[in-house]
Amino acid sequence: WWQLYGAANDAGILLIIPEGKVNPGGASYWNATEFCCDFYALKADDVGYITGLIEEAMDHFSVDPARIYLILW
């Protein structure tokens, strides 16, 4: 991840790397849709979480809403 931060900074890109939740089995996961991946029914609202991160970034930085990209890793 640290290499991405350096490359983003050099290119003038705001990079945000959130972490998913950890389930009781110790695995990281994202609960993005009703089909995946809240197997323990913890009801995490990751769409709301990511939306909030984007909104917060837009409140604090000059962000072009047409140039927001999400990448699944």
**Looking at beta carbons, which pairs linking 18-23 to residues 24 or more positions away fall under 8 Å?**
18/49, 18/50, 18/53, 20/46, 21/46
Closest CA to 57 of 45, 43, 69, 46: 69
Return the pLDDT at 66: 94
Quick: pLDDT tens for 8-27: 999 999 999 898 888 899 98
Q: What is the mean pLDDT of the chain?
A: 88
